[in-house]
Amino acid sequence: MRKINKIIVHCSATPEGRNVSAATIDKWHKERGWSGIGYHYVVKLDGSIEYGRMVDKVGAHCKGHNKSSIGICYIGGCDSDMKAKDTRTPQQIASMLELIRILKKLHPGVEVFGHRDFSTKECPSFDAKNEYCNA
């Protein structure tokens, strides 16, 4: 098993209310020439969690940090004009918190970040580092 020291939260950069699956993101990433979905988990609008890439495999979600991180992507992150917006549903908020708590138990010492902490992007459209620091 690889050494995990970061959980990096992302958004799918899709308009609020548009439901997308891990299979759809997998298709998008393959169209970009990747081997498949870059995230390890996808949190849908109803709070259900889908597997993306297996956790024992290096992700493709945050340049320079994939080797030691787990990528979580929630569906949404943009308003109808495709501007950054925290669009998480109450179900997504609850599921993401529970998933992060579980991952922190499985990987002691892991820290949570938003993609924006390593990029000029606004992803995931909220301050994940601050929100999950005590999860």
Residue 115 DSSP code: G
Instruction: Give percent of the chain with pLDDT exceeding 90.
Output: 96
Which pLDDT tens digit goes with each residue over 45-66? Answer: 999 999 999 999 999 999 999 9
Report the C-alpha gap between 53 and 130 in whole angstroms. Answer: 26
pTM (two decimals): 0.96
Q: Which of 23-27, 84-88, 125-129, 131-135 has the lowest mean pLDDT?
A: 131-135
Show which residues are catalytic.
10, 39, 115, 121, 123
Q: Could you give the dihedral angle defined by the CA atoms of residues 3, 31, 118 and 41, in that order, rounded to the nearest 10 degrees?
A: -50
**Which segments of the chain are extended strands (E)?**
6-11, 14-15, 41-43, 49-51, 69-74, 77-78, 111-114
Please give the domain boundaries of the chain with CATH numbers for all domains: 6-127 (3.40.80.10)
Q: Which residues in 34-73 are b (16+ Cβ under 10 Å) and which e?
A: eeebbbbbbbbbebebbebbebeeebbbbeebbeebbbbb
